[in-house]
Structure 1
Amino acid sequence: MTVGIHHLRTFLMAIDEGSISKAAARSHMAQSAVSRRLAELERHVKQLLLERSAEGVRPTVAGKMFCAKADAAVTAFDDAMRSDAHHVRALRIGYAWSAAGAYTSEILRRWQDLNPDVMVRLKRVDDPTGGLTSGLCDVAIMRIPTQGRGLHEELLFMEPRVAAIPAGSPLTGKGEIRLPDLAEYPLVINSFSGTTNLELWRDGRKPVVAVEVDTIDDWQTYIAAGVGIGVTPASTAWMHPHSEISYLPIQDAPPVPVYLVWASNNQHPALRSFIQLALNVVAEVTE
């Protein structure tokens, strides 16, 4: 059995879709063929790359690391196979939580109108650096301070925080919510790429942490189940609406800075143009 580029494509598609059946439909393959191809890949690398459950599939820790390599390999292969040597590959925009919130669609629409020959590929990656240090992305939208060397950042906007409350909570009936109101409720936090920790409650009582997660999917699942509440940037409500969660403004919570971050050695020819366009869109919308 020979593992080839088609195995990597199938693996990346399964992660993008979060489901083997959806990956099969997208690739016009039988579900059994997709499962077999993924199993062949895992046997070849001698690691379990995907966690499988009734809800779908998600990458293991090894799978997340392998994903960056697979994506880079597929991108390089596609670039090499293009007949147009002057074609510019897609600009990859990484994010771990909520992209640019309500500005996202306008930024992408404006880019497509002005630069129809250069595709922008939005990629959600469970990585605090938005896929930058792994080479998975060219620029990242980040809400936590950058920690890697050789990274540059540009402040895009300041974003208010909201409380994520399970349906039926007494908090949903309050006319105004402040941080002290949340202190008596257990907290669900994303310790991997989230923006909330107990330091947010500087004075008085602090909430207890009910559970720590490393993806927004798990974060929402625990909140919807009533395990705890969450505090999150307002864009979460736009990017990840949930029928069993209410997002309510918090009056006294400090805003979250949203940055565009990129590696100083990134040579993508469209990088600077995209950064400037995003800044222009935000400035025009907020005027």
Structure 2
Amino acid sequence: MDVDAVRTFVVVADNGQFQAAADELGISQQAVSKRIAALERHLGVALLVRTTRGSRPSVDGQVFLPHARKVLTAVEQAEHAVQPGSRPLRVDVLNRRIAPAQAVYRFYRSRPDAGLDAVTLGRENAAQAVQAVLEGTVDASFRAVPADQVPAGISAERIADAPLQLLVGPAHPLANAPAIRPADLAAHRIWVPGIRPGTEWSAFYDALAEEFGLSIDALGPNFGDEALMDALADSASLATLVGAGDRYLWPQAHDLRRISLLDPTPVYPHTLLFRTGDRHPVLTELRGHLRAAVPETSGDVWVPRWACM
């Protein structure tokens, strides 16, 4: 059904004159007549009774009129719902503990009136997240996606680099080191439970291990972050890697240590993916906030060769 024809019928019914309706709609009287005729053919009934004084709804037109008004109201509401800024910006943060999620949270705290909805897409890989952005399931997503896998219609901005740190328990040989080079970790086991083949973080850790000759594995069951913290606290040999801006909590008695990695500093290249040309005002504000909040790293940094620039 032609929405313009429905709107024309309602305006004619309200005005009682084709010419008055034409003036209100900004079209010719002939165009009004054509729209009404097309709508009547579509419905198979006469909607208007023409008289010497104008037009009024027929019996069928009187029945149709309130439904027509509801249709126009629904169309207006649908159009308004997708206008830039009329609904919350929906952002996939991948994991609520990691640095990008914390950055989005800080943005929201600075702008509590901003329409924002932080979600996690779950187990989807980067390609599936890109598709979710393209399809409008989310407006933006933080992913470490290879530059050659960013399709047309998607913009990629590397806007939330996360310098990596070594996390160890107090009995670990490196526990008291103020900083350490990645290459010096070659003799130590690094446990990152939850690495799954085909994910972007699997590709990142594979590249990191190859570059610096590291032993990074996900052996054993993954019982969650709290269990990982317990294991680190009890071990003299186990270590893991976390982002400098990641939020992990553990009991004070664990005495876990975050140790900076330098010369170079490995950086997880969190990239914000969004639809090219998206005019949502909160997206613009969020990007500006993230640019201003990018952590500074001293000296050289390392990112995988495939990372977006």
Q: TM-score, normalised by structure 2?
A: 0.50
Correspondence list, 1:120-199, <5 A: 120-126=116-122, 127-129=124-126, 131-134=129-132, 136-145=137-146, 147=149, 149-150=151-152, 151-189=154-192, 190-191=195-196, 192-194=199-201, 196-199=204-207
User: What are the superposed Cα offsets for residues 163-189 of structure 1, whole Å, 9 maximum, x if unpaired?
Assistant: 122453232222222213322222223
Partner AA of 2:80 in structure 1? H
CA offset at residue 247 of structure 1? 2.6
Q: Residue in 1 aligned with 2:224?
A: 218
* Shift in Å, 1:198: 4.0
Q: What is the aligned length?
A: 195
Cα distance in structure 2, aligned partners of 1:92 and 1:224: 34
Counterpart of 2:108? Answer: 108
| Cα distance between partner residues in 2 of 1:279 and 1:212 | 38
How far apart are residue 155 of structure 1 and its match? 2.2
CA spacing shift, 1:109–1:175, aligned 2, 3 Å: closer
Whether contact under 8 Å (1:138, 1:262) holds in the other structure is yes
Shift of 1:260: 1.1
Partner of 1:71: none
1:235/1:208 Cα in 2 relative to 1: closer, same or farther (>3 Å)?
Answer: closer
Q: Which residue in 1 is equivalent to 2:282?
A: 274
Cα distance between partner residues in 2 of 1:85 and 1:112: 25
Offset from partner CA, 1:183-231 (integer Å, 9 cap, x none): 2222223243427424324566432525288x8x736634532484222
Q: Which residue of 2 aligns with 1:260?
A: 272
| Aligned partner letter, 1:90 | P
Task: Give, as a single letter, the amino acid of the residue that structure 2 aligns with 1:280.
Answer: G
Q: Distance in 2 between matches of 1:167 and 1:92?
A: 40
- Cα shift at 1:138: 1.6
Distance across 1 between alignment mates of 2:87 and 2:284 = 19
Describe the SS at the equivalent of 1:141: strand
1:84 and 1:149 map into 2 onto residues whose CA distance is 28
Task: Tell me, in whole angstroms, the C-alpha distance in 2 between the residues paired with 1:170 and 1:105.
Answer: 35
Look up the match of 2:93: 95
SS in 1 for 2:219: strand
Instruction: Quote how far apart the aligned CAs of 1:102 are.
Output: 5.1
The structure that has the greater radius of gyration is: 2
Residue 162 of structure 1, CA deviation: 0.8
Partner amino acid for 2:282? Answer: F
SS at match of 1:255: strand
Determine the C-alpha separation between the residues in 1 that align with 2:248 and 2:274.
25
Task: For 1:201-212, list aligned pairs within 5 A.
Answer: 201=209, 205-211=213-219
Asked if the contact 1:167/1:224 (under 8 Å) is kept, the reply is: no
Structure 1 residue ranges (4+ consecutive) displaced by more than 6 angstroms after TM superposition: none
Corresponding residue SS for 2:106: helix
Paired residue secondary structure (2:188) = coil
Query: How far apart are 1:131 and its partner, in Å?
Result: 4.2
Unaligned runs of 5+ residues in structure 2 are 1-73, 297-309
Q: Which amino acid aligns with 2:241?
A: V
Q: Deviations over 1:5-54 (max 9, x none)?
A: xxxxxxxxxxxxxxxxxxxxxxxxxxxxxxxxxxxxxxxxxxxxxxxxxx
What is the rounded CA distance, in whole Å, between the counterparts of 1:255 and 1:208 in structure 2? 16
- The secondary structure found in structure 1 opposite 2:274 is strand
Give ranges in structure 1 of 5+ residues lacking alignment.
1-79
Give the conservation status (yes or no) of the 8 Å contact 1:198–1:206: no
Native 8 Å contact 2:178 2:260 kept in 1: no
Contact 1:111 1:277 (C-alpha < 8 Å) held by counterparts: no
State, as a whole percentage, how many aligned pairs show the same letter.
Answer: 15
Contact (CA 8 Å) 1:162, 1:233: kept in 2 or not? yes
Which letter does structure 2 place at the counterpart of 1:149? P
The whole-number CA distance in structure 2 between the counterparts of 1:157 and 1:280 is: 11
